[in-house]
Amino acid sequence: MILQDKVSLVTGGTAGIGQATALAYPYGEASYAQRSVGAASRREGKLNEVIAFGAAGAKVVFSGRRDAEGEKTAKLIRETGAECLYVHSDALNEEEIKALVQKTVVSYERLDCAFNNVGNEGLLKPLHEQSIEEFDKLMEIGYEIQQMLSQESGVIVNNSSLAGLFGLPGGSPYSASKHAVMRLTRSAALDYAKQGIRINAVNPGNIATEGLNRVFEKLGVTADAVTAMVPMGRIAQAEEVAQVVVFLCSDAASYITGQSLVIDGGYTAN
Contact 47, 153 (CB under 8 A): no
| 3-state secondary structure string across the chain | CCCCCCEEEECCCCCHHHHHHHHHHHHCCCCHHHHHHHHHHHHCCCHHHHHHHCCCCCEEEEEECCHHHHHHHHHHHHCCCCCEEEEECCCCCHHHHHHHHHHHHHHHCCCCEEEECCCCHHHCCCHHHCCHHHHHHCCCCCCHHHHHHHHCCEEEEEECCHHHCCCCCCCHHHHHHHHHHHHHHHHHHHHHHHHCEEEEEEEECCECCCCHHHHHHHHCCCHHHHHHCCCCCCCECHHHHHHHHHHHHCHHHCCCCCCEEEECCCHHHC
How large is the average pLDDT for residues 163-191? 85
Whether the per-residue pLDDT at 102 is higher than 90: the answer is yes
This prediction has a pTM of 0.83
According to the model, what pLDDT value does residue 256 have? 98
Whether the per-residue pLDDT at 12 is higher than 90: the answer is no
Q: Where are the domains of the chain?
A: 7-262
Tens digit of each residue's pLDDT (9 = 90 or more) over 45-69: 323 222 222 233 788 898 888 898 8
Amino acid of residue 20: A
Catalytic residues: 174
According to the model, what pLDDT value does residue 14 have? 64
According to the model, what pLDDT value does residue 52 have? 24
β-strand partners of 71 = none
Instruction: Report the candidate in 57, 4, 18, 41 with the shortest Cα–Cα distance to residue 245.
Output: 18
Tens digit of each residue's pLDDT (9 = 90 or more) over 23-34: 666 655 443 333
pLDDT confidence of 38, banded at 50, 70, 90?
very low
Length of the chain: 270
Q: In CATH, which superfamily holds the domain spanning 7-262?
A: NAD(P)-binding Rossmann-like Domain (3.40.50.720)
pLDDT confidence of 40, banded at 50, 70, 90?
very low
According to the model, what pLDDT value does residue 42 have? 42
Contacts of 217 (CB under 8 A, 6+ apart): none
According to the model, what pLDDT value does residue 28 have? 53
